Structure 1
Amino acid sequence: MEVSLRATVPPQFNRIPKSKPHNNRPVVCCFGLENHNSVELNQSKNDEPERTHNDIWRLFTEAQRNIMYLNRQRVQAIEELDEMKKEQKSLLEKLEQLESQTHASIKEDPFSIISELLLRIDSMVLTGILDTREASGFRSLVINTSLNVADYFADIISKSDAEILAQLRHVSNKKKMKGFHIIHICTEMEPVASVGSLASYVTSLSHVLQRHGNLVEVILPMYATLNLESINSLWEIKAEFFSYFDGQLHRNRIWTGVVNGIAATFIQPVYYSSFFNTENIYGYPNDFERFSYFSRASLDYILKSGKKPDVIHIHNWETSIVGPLFWDIFANQGLAATRILLTCQGLKSQCLEQPDKLAMCGLDPAKLHRHDRLQDNNKPHLVNILKAGIVYSNKVIVMSSIHSKDQIVSTLSHGLEFALDTHKDKLLIAPFGYDDSPWDPSQDKFLPRGYTADDTRGKAISKAALQQQLGLPENIASVFVGYMFTEDSDVDLENIKSLVRDSSTRGVQFIFVGISKIYGMKNKLESFQEGLKDENVRFVDEYDESLLHLIFAGSDIILCSFDDPMLQMPVKAIKYGAAPVPVNFTDDRLRKFIDPGNTERTQLSEYIINTFANVSLSQAIDEIVEEEAITVE
């Protein structure tokens, strides 16, 4: 038993001391384990070559699979790389094509590159790269009509300031500018910030002035609601710019861009950031503070950038404070040759304020609160901001397609009779103007089909489309009347309600639109709508340009305010084949239009007055219905 045990126990166990077991059970267990281990060890030695062979084959198989996978990945990567190269080549070709198209369009319309180049010159002045004297010479060079700017600068306009400056100095011939340098300081410009007629007026006038060889720029507030998509090359000038307000200098951010080929500068207050982070442009209790800050900042910017414009063009009461600011503070700082031009789209909105508020923008209240200066004629304890523009401007333009200078001074001055009469020699009356291109029914992109006086089928199609869009019965024989509320709409709403009720029983259809974005207009329209519910009447309280065009095209009658044609409604109505009818028709009100001795009216205004001014809505409807009946017979 002992011999057998020693033979089966591995050598390392031979040194275990012998001891008598306490019983037989451990011996049996030990013997059994030893025999089992011996069998396993022998079997392991026999299986080892086979396991080694299997492991090698498994590793080989896995390696082969990995190699095949890597080959597939390599092929796929090569294919993807080839595809990327093709896409890159295609993108480069498209980029080159776009660049060539851009250069071609720039050469076709040099005003865009001129505007952008002028803004780059401003940036160089503000950042200290260029002094004001040399900048003035470069501006003259750029606007010189004998110089083809696109040929010299089209390829480098996106380069650094240093490269552009080198090119400017290279081509500079120091020729005197032939046109005028005009800067608009205003609160609206189409299409970046539009409320009423001012926006289209600024843009259209700037285009015309540019085409006549003048240098035109526009300065606007940087509204939070600005239409950024309509601004090309918008960028911020990285320079410190401060302006004065309420006893301190405040930092502003300056942005520049090109709007429809016109150079535009946008001023963004930093400390008073809330001034223009508003939902609407107008209609807030602090409007005077907002726009007096902007007016002062605009003049500070003009001075610091070294500009010496021939004309600073201001608009309505919002920037009228520029007048006294310019002559009392800025004129003697190198701008003595500059002149101030004020344009008023209307005289109703004037802004009356406490005299002490004038000090916020740096003016002397005691000096200006006088009868011949800013003191309001009806409320002498207040100052009149629109009056400031009238008194301190070199020329004043009042927009009116209907009225003469005498009529405006005597009956439509809204309390400014004394100021207008005193400065009558510098007062000019101009008809409303607008860009003809979007208001031509023969090529109006918003109409389902264009039309002319010789082919009016498109007007009937537009009428059907308008009725369908508004959910009205599609009846081409129905008389359709359109009316657009504006911020200055001064109408007898009860009278209109009565007219609508009477006309609706005859199948006449009406559309009332609040085309102004001004604060409070929605409430005015809702109040009117509440008292007038009719199946033939529709109300729209949102600005919709396409619908506005369709209304002019689809309407038979356009109700207009002849006292204040803010958007030149009569002219647009006539162009689209609709009859402009006074919204507030009374015989007494229209007597002032009939003045055969008045020689100041244009032929257009004479035509409007003689043809439409003495026609009421009911008379116009009767005439259209009778004409339709005759046509059917």
Structure 2
Amino acid sequence: MRIAFLAAECAPVAKAGGLGDFVHGLGRALLAAGTEVEILLPDYDCLRHELIIDRQVLRDDLWFDFAGQRLRCRVSSGQVDGLSCRFLAPQSSEAFFARGRIYGEPDDALRFACYCRAALEWLHQSAGWPDILHCNDWQTGLVPVLLREDFAQRGPKRVLDRVRVCYSLHNLGYQGWVEPQVLTAAGLDAARLMTPDRLSDSAGAVDAKLMPRANLMQGGIVFSNFVTTVSPRYAWEVLRTEQGMGLQGVLAAKQAQGRFAGVLNGIDWESWNPQTDPFIAQSFNADSLALKAANTAALRMRLGLQAANKPLVAIVSRLDRQKGVDLISHAMVYTMEKKGQCVLLGSAQEPQIQTRFEQLRDHYSANPDCHLTLGYDEELAHQIYAGADLMLVPSLYEPCGLTQLIAMRYGCVPVVSRVGGLADTVFDANFCGKPLEQRNGFVFDNSCPFDLEFALERALGLWSDHPEQFDRLRANGMAAEHSWTRPARDYLEIYRWLLGDGAIK
């Protein structure tokens, strides 16, 4: 079986968030299971080129039409952690992928529409069609549309007779709402596709008199053979709550066909391993939990916290509204009121939020029980997971979440909101129907400070008053297996089903 991943990211060479970890982690697990895997990426100028092995140009004359231009595309190959990658560099006057970053450009819609067209042209012109095209998020939403509306009829053998599309939704907060002209630029018939059952996003129109915008994620859902999200709970939420953000109808239609499921993500089991982690002061595992204390001491020394018999609460997070920034700042104050210590590692893209946390950092700069690092530091992240007692994840919504999975791997007990993948993986110490050996953290409902305080109070109290029970939560979390092995097995089942049945009905 041959799988081709199409995505805007792949860790570690092109990573802006969890999508990069997904492509890298799942790709490697599928490779280990004996599946042939290929990753197709835009050839960003900001790629971490030093991590690409045996890079070479495969073709410098891949021609295709886009936005009224005849574009030439260079296709290069290379190995990234054993994964075979193809890097696509369309030579447009707009220099689509020479912007110094992956996202955040005013013409992102055109940039990734061009990538979608280039990727399919490469597969078609090189006669390299895989069995499964695994597309991800709005940036690749046009791939299944182009496949059905254009490439399906090309060549001596119909592409749709053998190629199936699996489309993964990582965050419905970003759907790719664009003007219909983007469809035209990609070589599609916008008038034909701008209907509510295809790509027309009526709810996205600014004015009822204006033509609705196109929704690229909606197009990906409608034209794919199978759709997944990154946790079972998030799949339930996007069907039945406001988390569907307007896509509840098309997702319900997919579910009615038996073509929609939530598959829980994993984490890189090798990189996040307290037994072998080169960044931490003391290696440890579930059988040597007492050694974790050395990491707590080292973390306090690095961050200038006092050496005290206090619980250490950590936040490692992007600082935006989805992540519950109001609850994060409230929890820091509450933790110190309850005689705990608090550390934060994160940054915000929104200036107002960044300024707010800069003020908090300055306010607590001389406090021996609090430290904020605004930015991202990979080494420090590992040290925080290894040294902290509790990890706070108060997200307003969370499709999957990796923070709580990594925290448990390091014997750091999570305190989380009951949403998405957090609810699928963290089971409350006190209020849970699970057996005692499966309980691994503290969970709160709603996004009000009182509910968060109740969860934190229970967590801090257990640490202080019943350390043996707290250590049991640590051990339970460390015993859970959240590698990519199980998700890879689930995706292989989906792929096999598609290849046996797969035609869109």
- What TM-score bracket applies, with the shorter chain setting the length? 0.7 to 0.9
**Which whole-Å CA distance do the structure 1 matches of 2:167 and 2:391 have between them?**
30
User: How far does residue 227 in structure 1 lie from its aligned partner after superposition?
Assistant: 0.6
Cα distance, 1:254–1:500 mapped onto 2, change above 3 Å: same
Residue equivalent to 1:623: 462
Matched-pair contact (CA < 8 Å) for 1:582–1:617? no
Residue equivalent to 1:366: 191
Are residues 1:276 and 2:97 paired?
A: yes
Residue equivalent to 1:582: 416
Q: Partner amino acid for 1:333?
A: R
**Which whole-Å CA distance do the structure 2 matches of 1:458 and 1:489 have between them?**
36
DSSP-derived class of the 2:71 partner: strand
Choose from 238, 250, 262 the match for 1:429. 262
Residue equivalent to 2:228: 397
State the superposition RMSD in angstroms. 2.8
User: How far does residue 489 in structure 1 lie from its aligned partner after superposition?
Assistant: 5.0
Residue equivalent to 2:301: 468
Residue equivalent to 1:303: 124
Residue equivalent to 1:218: 39
**Which whole-Å CA distance do the structure 2 matches of 1:443 and 1:241 have between them?**
44
Residue equivalent to 2:392: 559
User: How far does residue 583 in structure 1 lie from its aligned partner after superposition?
Assistant: 5.5
**Which whole-Å CA distance do the structure 2 matches of 1:410 and 1:609 have between them?**
27
Residue equivalent to 2:83: 262
Matched-pair contact (CA < 8 Å) for 2:324–2:394? no
User: How far does residue 617 in structure 1 lie from its aligned partner after superposition?
Assistant: 2.1
Q: Partner amino acid for 1:419?
A: V
Matched-pair contact (CA < 8 Å) for 1:492–1:584? no
After superposition, the C-alpha distances for 1:195-236 in whole angstroms (9 at most, x for unaligned) are 211112111211222222221111111111111111110122
Q: Partner amino acid for 2:283?
A: G
Choose from 391, 403, 406 the match for 2:236. 406
Matched-pair contact (CA < 8 Å) for 1:368–1:374? yes
Residue equivalent to 1:450: 283
Identity %: 27
Are residues 1:251 and 2:72 paired?
A: yes
Matched-pair contact (CA < 8 Å) for 2:73–2:90? yes
**Which whole-Å CA distance do the structure 2 matches of 1:549 and 1:521 have between them?**
25
Q: Partner amino acid for 2:287?
A: D
Matched-pair contact (CA < 8 Å) for 1:482–1:511? yes
Q: Partner amino acid for 1:624?
A: W
Q: Partner amino acid for 1:512?
A: L
Cα distance, 1:409–1:384 mapped onto 2, change above 3 Å: same
**Which whole-Å CA distance do the structure 1 matches of 2:90 and 2:307 have between them?**
52
Residue equivalent to 1:140: none
Q: Partner amino acid for 1:579?
A: V
More helix by share: 1
Show the 5 A alignment for 1:4-15: none
Bigger Cα displacement from structure 2, 279-288 vs 381-390: 279-288
More strand by share: 2
User: How far does residue 561 in structure 1 lie from its aligned partner after superposition?
Assistant: 4.3
Matched-pair contact (CA < 8 Å) for 1:446–1:550? yes
DSSP-derived class of the 1:253 partner: strand
User: How far does residue 397 in structure 1 lie from its aligned partner after superposition?
Assistant: 0.8
User: How far does residue 497 in structure 1 lie from its aligned partner after superposition?
Assistant: 2.6
User: How far does residue 445 in structure 1 lie from its aligned partner after superposition?
Assistant: 2.1
**Which whole-Å CA distance do the structure 2 matches of 1:341 and 1:487 have between them?**
31
Are residues 1:290 and 2:147 paired?
A: no
**Which whole-Å CA distance do the structure 1 matches of 2:468 and 2:442 have between them?**
22
User: How far does residue 328 in structure 1 lie from its aligned partner after superposition?
Assistant: 0.3
User: How far does residue 523 in structure 1 lie from its aligned partner after superposition?
Assistant: 6.2
**Which whole-Å CA distance do the structure 1 matches of 2:84 and 2:229 have between them?**
25
Cα distance, 1:494–1:564 mapped onto 2, change above 3 Å: closer
After superposition, the C-alpha distances for 1:490-537 in whole angstroms (9 at most, x for unaligned) are 14433433332232234422222227xxx8267633433325622233
Bigger Cα displacement from structure 2, 280-289 vs 365-374: 280-289
**Which whole-Å CA distance do the structure 1 matches of 2:101 and 2:353 have between them?**
16
Are residues 1:347 and 2:172 paired?
A: yes
DSSP-derived class of the 2:316 partner: strand
- Using CA pairs below 8 Å that are at least 6 residues apart, which structure has the higher relative contact order? 2
What is the TM-score with the length of structure 1 in the denominator?
A: 0.64
Q: Partner amino acid for 2:411?
A: G
Residue equivalent to 1:440: 273
DSSP-derived class of the 1:331 partner: helix
Show the 5 A alignment for 1:42-191: 180-191=1-12
Q: Partner amino acid for 1:469?
A: R
Cα distance, 1:242–1:551 mapped onto 2, change above 3 Å: same
User: How far does residue 340 in structure 1 lie from its aligned partner after superposition?
Assistant: 0.9
User: How far does residue 292 in structure 1 lie from its aligned partner after superposition?
Assistant: 0.8
**Which whole-Å CA distance do the structure 1 matches of 2:386 and 2:147 have between them?**
45
Residue equivalent to 2:20: 199
Are residues 1:572 and 2:406 paired?
A: yes
Structure 2: gaps (5+ residues): 206-211, 428-433, 446-453, 471-505
Residue equivalent to 2:475: none
**Which whole-Å CA distance do the structure 1 matches of 2:172 and 2:90 have between them?**
29
Q: Partner amino acid for 1:550?
A: Q
Q: Partner amino acid for 2:47?
A: L
User: How far does residue 584 in structure 1 lie from its aligned partner after superposition?
Assistant: 8.6
Q: Partner amino acid for 1:617?
A: L
After superposition, the C-alpha distances for 1:565-617 in whole angstroms (9 at most, x for unaligned) are 544222222221112112699xxx99xx99xxxxxxxx99x956986456622
DSSP-derived class of the 1:274 partner: coil
DSSP-derived class of the 1:275 partner: coil
Bigger Cα displacement from structure 2, 299-308 vs 456-465: 456-465
DSSP-derived class of the 2:166 partner: strand
Residue equivalent to 1:483: 315
User: How far does residue 250 in structure 1 lie from its aligned partner after superposition?
Assistant: 0.6
Residue equivalent to 1:525: 354
User: How far does residue 240 in structure 1 lie from its aligned partner after superposition?
Assistant: 1.1
User: How far does residue 188 in structure 1 lie from its aligned partner after superposition?
Assistant: 0.9
**Which whole-Å CA distance do the structure 1 matches of 2:95 and 2:203 have between them?**
33
Cα distance, 1:408–1:418 mapped onto 2, change above 3 Å: same
DSSP-derived class of the 2:280 partner: coil
Structure 1: gaps (5+ residues): 1-179, 595-602
Matched-pair contact (CA < 8 Å) for 2:315–2:343? yes
Matched-pair contact (CA < 8 Å) for 2:30–2:37? yes
What is the TM-score with the length of structure 2 in the denominator?
A: 0.79
DSSP-derived class of the 1:434 partner: coil
Q: Partner amino acid for 1:344?
A: L
Bigger Cα displacement from structure 2, 555-564 vs 257-266: 555-564
User: How far does residue 467 in structure 1 lie from its aligned partner after superposition?
Assistant: 1.4
Matched-pair contact (CA < 8 Å) for 2:167–2:220? yes
Say how many residue pairs are matched. Answer: 433
Q: Partner amino acid for 1:470?
A: L
**Which whole-Å CA distance do the structure 2 matches of 1:249 and 1:505 have between them?**
64
Bigger Cα displacement from structure 2, 531-540 vs 551-560: 531-540
Residue equivalent to 2:181: 356
DSSP-derived class of the 2:115 partner: helix
Q: Partner amino acid for 1:443?
A: T
Choose from 163, 169, 173 the match for 1:338. 163
**Which whole-Å CA distance do the structure 1 matches of 2:147 and 2:195 have between them?**
18
Cα distance, 1:609–1:405 mapped onto 2, change above 3 Å: farther
User: How far does residue 564 in structure 1 lie from its aligned partner after superposition?
Assistant: 0.5
Bigger Cα displacement from structure 2, 550-559 vs 568-577: 568-577
Q: Partner amino acid for 1:258?
A: Q
**Which whole-Å CA distance do the structure 1 matches of 2:88 and 2:192 have between them?**
29
Cα distance, 1:434–1:493 mapped onto 2, change above 3 Å: closer
User: How far does residue 629 in structure 1 lie from its aligned partner after superposition?
Assistant: 10
